[in-house]
Amino acid sequence: MSGIAAAFGVDGLPAPPLADLPPRLATARCVILLVIDGMGDAQLAKHLAGGLLAGCRQGVIDSVFPSTTASAISTFLTGLPPAGHGMTGWYQWCEEIGETLAILPMSRRGAGTPAKEAEDWAQSVLTAPSLGDRLPVPVTHVMPSWIAHSPFNRRLAGRVRHEPYANTESLFPAVERAMDATAERQFIYAYWPNYDATAHDVGPDGDKAVAKLHQIEAAIAAFIARRAGSDALLLVTADHGFITAPIDRQVDLADYPDLAACLVRPLSGERRAAYAHVLPGRREAFADAVQARLGDALWLADSAALFAAGWFGRSPPHPRFASRIGDFTLVMKADWSILDTRPGDRHHPMIGMHGGVSSDEMRVPLCVPPL
């Protein structure tokens, strides 16, 4: 995103521009960034080998940490790393409102549906500046209709033009409407979530999930055929990759009530990278017990030390960032995951997961299809 911003004359974002971005980025009349949710480099290599996207793969990018949609999409929308924009995972402790939220739908932990306060909370919690508002050109966001006008998306998107779409077949027609809406130089950000949604349910290698990847590749090919020769640059990447996480490699703090009793509130973050807010005076006891009893499944890291080491990006921190990452980060090893089940909780069963530090989760492709 630093490279895209610089191509439109905006400097000052924390990260240096990516070296693999094509020179045409600086001159193309229309720059289109398509984010395929969940299509890590490993998934591209395994399931689309020999296809259009594999053939135009120009490089590989490290995702943000945690390698998850809430954190990475916020980076696409703001140009800031998680330390700067403050989005730390699916579940996020928001001290400013005294709630743990599922941050994308703006719902209370365990509620499942957006809270009636979602609009107000978005203004209080989502305070990072939008990159779309900083670009000196027309900006259009092409998003699924059920996401486009959500409180989260509208707050971080800023004052951009929206072109919602209904399904995969209508994605690129929406992109084309945006392309044709102005003769000025412009930036179009497009997001497609279908592979991610399916891979969580059936695994990243499940037939239904792989079919989604072939579906979006075919849609890209048809778009290129219609728009070949236009003065446009199409960049295709992803927010994160995936692993398969077996149920028998899942830790639940409900099975360790003495550990859960050390916490101020349930774990937040992700099942592959969780944050522990520990009661005063229990920090050392919690750390010793977790390392002794769960050391085979996870690394226990001091959250402040991870920030200092640049895990969340090197950026001036969001004012609430330290409170959101708690005392410790539980970084899961191999294909382990972690839950913190409390009375009344219903966790969505997941075969595919992300959020951790494996290469399959962290490494995403940069593809530049010919257009």
pLDDT in tens, 317-357: 999 999 999 999 999 999 999 999 999 888 889 999 999 99
251 and 240 both lie in a single domain: no
Q: Is residue 204 part of a domain?
A: yes
226 and 94 both lie in a single domain: yes
The mean per-residue pLDDT over the stretch 66-79 comes to: 98
Residues paired with residue 100 on neighbouring β-strands, in sequence order? 93
pLDDT digits (tens, 9 = 90+) for 29-71: 999 999 999 999 999 999 999 999 999 999 999 999 999 999 9
What pLDDT score does 188 carry?
98
What pLDDT score does 112 carry?
81
200 and 157 both lie in a single domain: yes
The domain that holds 191 is classified in CATH as: 3.40.720.10
Domain residues for 299? 247-352
232 and 301 both lie in a single domain: no
Count of the separate structural domains present in the chain: 2
CA-based angle 349:125:130, to the nearest 5? Answer: 100
237 and 331 both lie in a single domain: no
What pLDDT score does 344 carry?
86
Q: Is residue 38 part of a domain?
A: yes
Say what the pTM is. 0.97
The mean per-residue pLDDT over the stretch 229-240 comes to: 97
214: CB partners within 8 A, 6+ apart: 47, 48, 51
Q: Is residue 16 part of a domain?
A: no
CA-based angle 268:271:277, to the nearest 5? Answer: 25
Token representation of residue 106: 């703006």
Burial of 209 (0-12, 13-18, 19+ CB in 10 A): buried
pLDDT over 90, % of the chain: 96
107 and 190 both lie in a single domain: yes
How are beta strands 91-94 and 243-244 bridged, if at all? unpaired
298 and 213 both lie in a single domain: no
d(CA 26, CA 218): 28
What pLDDT score does 305 carry?
98
DSSP for residue 139: E
d(CA 282, CA 261): 9
